[in-house]
Amino acid sequence: MSPATASAVVPGAAVARGAGGGLPTVIGGCPAFLTASVRRAVRAGGNWQAVADRVAGVLRNQFPSPAILTRERLAGDPAGYQTHLLHAEPDGSFSVTVMVWLPGQQTPVHDHLAWCVTAVMQGTEYEEIFAPGADGLRVIARNCNPVGAVSAFAPPGDIHRVRNNGTGVAVSMHVYGTDISRVGSSIRREYRYPGQ
């Protein structure tokens, strides 16, 4: 199976952009105590999975509320799931985003530039995890992630697709080991997969 061309903007996703449609801009709203805790976890060092696991511990202990977004941003967008950039660490070591998903919205099958930690804040997110095989990608896990679910992963082994199969709005926080305001997206590569 051949991978699709890497893209800085995910089709079907609406990302808050800077003036003239450039890179995403920080809208703010990330609690200072959460940013400080993530910063400490990142600066403790180690390989990407170790960092992701520490950041996951931060989110489990300081679980965010969807109320960090305005009512308007929590409403979602019928054109595609939305990514709101709340914080970009000045040294480029991490970003904090919140994604808002209307029913039926999903990502493409993709992998990432760096480690990632997700926390489901509202609704339920369904995730398929893939592994490369001789005949292309194969699904190796299907997860139903309810409110409170926190997941940590790092390349390699980070190919997945996320969707909102529910009837209400789903909201999740994503902390990435890269600066989304500089690179545009956490996605490294999109993959073709049947049913996409």
Q: CA-to-CA distance for 129 and 193, rounded, in angstroms? A: 12
**pLDDT at residue 22 in the model:** 53
For residue 15, pLDDT beyond 60: no
Structure confidence at residue 6 as a pLDDT band (50, 70, 90): very low
Torsion of CA 127, 9, 166, 114, to 10 degrees: 30
pLDDT in tens, 52-76: 999 999 999 999 999 999 999 999 9
Number of domains in the chain: 1
In this predicted structure, the answer to whether residue 7 has a pLDDT above a threshold of 50 is no
Give me the helices (H) in the chain, please.
32-43, 48-61, 71-74, 180-183
End-to-end CA, the chain: 14
- 37 within domain boundaries: yes
CA 195 to chain centre: 21
Instruction: Give a yes or no: residue 196 inside a domain.
Output: no
Whether residue 158 is contained in a domain is answered as yes
Is 60 exceeded by the pLDDT of residue 95?
yes
What number of other Cβ atoms are within 10 A of residue 141's Cβ? 10
**Closest residue by Cα to residue 121 from 68, 51, 185, 42:** 68
- C-alpha 84/C-alpha 117 separation (Å) is 15
Q: Model confidence over 119-151: pLDDT tens digits?
A: 999 999 999 999 888 888 889 999 999 999 999
**Position 12 pLDDT exceeds 70:** no
Show the domain range for 51.
Answer: 13-191
**Parallel, antiparallel, or unpaired: how do β-strands 136-145 and 125-133 relate?**
antiparallel
Whether the pLDDT of residue 196 is over 70: the answer is no
Question: Within a domain: residue 54?
Answer: yes
Whichever domain contains 118, its CATH number is 2.60.120.10
Q: How far apart are CA 137 and CA 145, in angstroms?
A: 22
5 lies in some domain:
no
pTM confidence score: 0.85
Domain-located, residue 152:
yes
The answer to whether residue 4 sits within a structural domain is no
> Does any domain span residue 6?
no
Distance CA 168, CA 102 (A): 7
pLDDT band at 43 (very low <50, low <70, confident <90, very high): very high
